[in-house]
Amino acid sequence: MPTRICWILLSGLLLSHTLQAQPLTAETDARSRERLRAFAFPPRAVRLLDSPFLEAMQRDVAYLFELDPDRLLSRFRRFAGLEPKAPEYGGWESQGISGHTLGHYLSALSMYYAATGDEKARARIDYIVSELAEVQRAHGNGYVGAIPEGDRLWAEIARGEIWQAEPFSLNGAWVPWYTMHKIFQGLIDAYWYGGSEQALEVVTRLADWAYETTKNLTPAQWQQMLRTEHGGMNEALANLYSITGNPKHRELSEKFYHAAVLSPLSRGIPNLTGLHANTQIPKVIGVVRQYELIGSDSLRAVAEFFWEEVVQHHTYVIGGNSQNEHFGPRDSLANRLGEGTAETCNTYNMLRLTRHLFALHPEKVRYVDFYERALYNHILASQDPKRGMFTYYMSLRPGHFKTYATPEHSFWCCVGTGMENHVKYNEFIYFYNGDTLYVNLFIPSELNWERRALRLRLETAFPESNRVRLDFDPEVPQRLVVKVRHPSWAQDALDVRINGEVQSVTSRPGSYLTLARVWQPGDEVEITLPMRLRVETMPDNPDRFAILYGPIVLAGVFGSRGLPEGGAYAKDQWEFFGWPAPPLPKLCGDLNRVEDWVKPLATGGELRFHTVGVGRPADVLLKPFYEVHHERYTIYWDRCR
């Protein structure tokens, strides 16, 4: 078991009355600050400007407000003996995992409120929390949940009767602790981001219920129970402990330590082959969160080794991982291209883990490079532009297509994480430490750094343009160290101009360009990024490759013939598995000279390319994968000899 977590957050260190301090902000206590070397800005400090990311957020928010909270609350009320106010939704919300969506929904609404101050979102947060408080009172023991047969299940666990513990089933219930994690974190986010004091009251009572339910389990019974997917319960309870300082919350967080998976990772043993991928990632996020609070090197080692193992040995070019939700053998990807590749939840969680690790090691630009790759090529690519819906898997089967959820009859895990994905695009663009500002991502945005009385505006059409402009507007001149990421994919020197004058500064790919000076109102920095075409081959097949432009994965597109009528919207995530795909060309170009046979098209600013003379039997049109929707595509190509 990890070292016991010591009490860590003083109540006076809240960010504000209405927006409590979240992890990775400088408002955490002194012990955490000793370990965190870069800090996130509060969501309200970073406003998205016009870009595909802002459009994706707006589509997501429109869907959030289309949903009826009473339908998401339906089973909570029914299983508490209360009359539902509306019928339940379909899909997973009418099955054994019901309730998980409401947790994600609360988190998404809360993050959106924190970023925008939209009182409509705040009113909905307060309503849901008040309803959950009524459900909790009806149960009478602190419990809040919508799990079928919950009373029977939790009574058995309290008695130590664990008669089934399989990857997705505990005593006949579908991943109950996974579902509870979503509810815990949704309530915590409603407190942190939504300013709901009642949410903290409800989740504290819920944690006390969880403690009482499990207090008599032996260590062996705990480990048996943890064989079933349990989400990030260790993270949620560590988060709660960081707020309350209650030693019971600390103790319970520690007990959700799945030794069979985490202990080998702490010793650098790669033991992921065959494991369900997204069962493991939340455990590791919880471990790194515990490290932030207590500083145990073994916890940090787990997180760092796991990240390297997944990113370096199990990840596809789009930044996603897994085939049919499971890790395969290390570096074995070439023959694992199917409809079930790259579960979107996995990438959601890998980005969360990456954000924590960057805060510990901001000098490791590879964390940001991965974040950028996965954000553009998987997360942004996962949302349907017509209806704002989300993918479960990101099919990499050549000639296949993306499948999206229905608005009311799916509610997969990736619908819940999808709700969150597209309201928090502002969270990783900028970080800071003291007088140092990190510019990580080239997403149009405006930073309001209140403590420095500084506004910074980042304008760009990246990746359609390789030019980035930073406009500084401090209230008074001030010295500031600005670190702009020099991406690993930008192999040439950056062109940097300040107020129109060329700067003699140096940086290398995979580092930060450092600009240290006294910044005046009106100062302007222009940076030109060297973007080039390149290829990346499979680790286990050098003749199977993908084409990229800078960090952007390019997909060959083949039209919409034979796609489902009305669009590829599905109740079941595997509904369109096995649909026939057309034969695809091979590409015969020299992979070391890709710019000789992939040429840009004049399209008025859009990124469009085509192959020239290398396609067998025909050349192909290429465009960014995040723009591919409702059409057939391929990302990985076979090279002909």
Per-residue pLDDT tens over the stretch 227-251: 999 999 999 999 999 999 999 999 9
pLDDT digits (tens, 9 = 90+) for 140-195: 999 999 999 999 999 999 999 999 999 999 999 999 999 999 999 999 999 999 99
Look at the alpha carbons of 214, 217, 222, 224 in this order and tell me if their dihedral is positive or negative. negative
Would you say 318 and 624 are in contact if contact means Cβ atoms under 8 Å apart? no
Q: Which helix (H) or strand (E) segment is 249 a member of?
A: helix 247-255
Cα maximum dimension of the chain: 73
HSE-up (13 A, CA, CB side) for residue 628: 31
Q: Which has the closest alpha carbon to 525: 488, 479, 483, 493?
A: 483
Per-residue model confidence (pLDDT) at position 32: 67
Nearest partner of 400 among 626, 563, 598, judged by Cα: 563
CA dist 374 to 115, 371, 520, 637, 639, Å?
Answer: 22, 5, 35, 20, 25
Residue 618 lies in a domain: no
Q: Which residues pair with 57 in a beta bridge?
A: none
The predicted structure's pLDDT at residue 24: 67
What secondary structure letter does DSSP report for 488? Answer: T
Nearest to 326 by CA among 260, 374, 393, 372: 393
Name the β-bridge partners of 534: 548
- Domain membership of residue 300 (yes or no) is no
CATH of the domain at 438: 2.60.40
Report DSSP state, residue 16: -
CA distance 209 to 226: 18
pLDDT at position 602, please?
84
DSSP assignment letter at 375: I
Looking at the domain assignment, is residue 363 inside a domain?
no
453 lies in which domain range?
Answer: 432-460+467-528
To the question of pTM greater than 0.85 for the whole model, the response is yes
Q: Is residue 284 part of a domain?
A: no
How many domains does the chain fold into?
1
pLDDT at residue 327, as a whole number: 98
Q: What angle do CA 190, 193, 195 make, to 5 degrees?
A: 70
DSSP 82-96: PPPSSPPPSGGGGTT
Q: Which pLDDT score, from 0 to 100, does residue 25 have?
A: 62
DSSP 30-81: HHHHHH--SEEPPGGGEEE-SSHHHHHHHHHHHHHHHS-HHHHTHHHHHTTT
The dihedrals phi and psi of 634, each to the nearest 5 degrees, come to -145, 150
599, 606, 604, 618: which is closest to 559 by C-alpha? 618
Q: Which of 470, 487, 485 is nearest to 548 (CA)?
A: 487
Collapsed DSSP state (helix, strand, coil) of residue 423: coil
Confidence at residue 444, expressed as pLDDT on a 0 to 100 scale: 98
- The three-class DSSP label of residue 206 is helix
Kind of pairing between the strands at 46-48 and 445-449: antiparallel
Domain membership flag for residue 511: yes
Q: What is the per-residue pLDDT across 470-489, written as a single tens digit (0 to 9) for each?
A: 999 999 999 999 999 999 99
In the chain, the amino acid numbered 282 is P
In a domain, 453, yes or no: yes
Tokens 């957020």 belong to 57
| 514, part of any domain | yes
| Pick from 305, 289, 353, 307: nearest CA to 2 | 289
Return the pLDDT at 13. 29
Q: How far apart are CA 40 and CA 431, in angstroms?
A: 5
Six-digit token string for 392 = 């479960």
Q: Which CA distances in Å does 160 have to 89, 207, 637?
A: 33, 19, 53
* Interatomic CA distance for residues 55 and 51, integer angstroms: 6
Contact 311, 331 (CB under 8 A): no
**Which residues, including other chains, have CB under 8 Å from residue 248's CB and lie 6 or more apart?**
207, 208, 211
Residue 270 Cα distances to 265, 267, 305, 325, 430, angstroms: 7, 9, 9, 18, 33
Q: CB count, 10 Å around CB of 43?
A: 23
CA–CA separation, 28 and 189 (whole Å) = 16
Residue 627 lies in a domain: no
With beta carbons less than 8 A apart as the criterion, state whether 482 and 513 touch.
no
The pLDDT of residue 255 is: 98
pLDDT less than 50: residues of the chain: 1-20, 28-30
Contact between 25 and 356 under an 8 Å Cβ cutoff? The reply is: no
CB 486 within 8 A of CB 510: yes
What is the residue type of 414? C
Pairing state of beta strands 637-638 and 169-170? unpaired
Q: Cα(309)–Cα(15) distance, rounded to whole angstroms?
A: 36
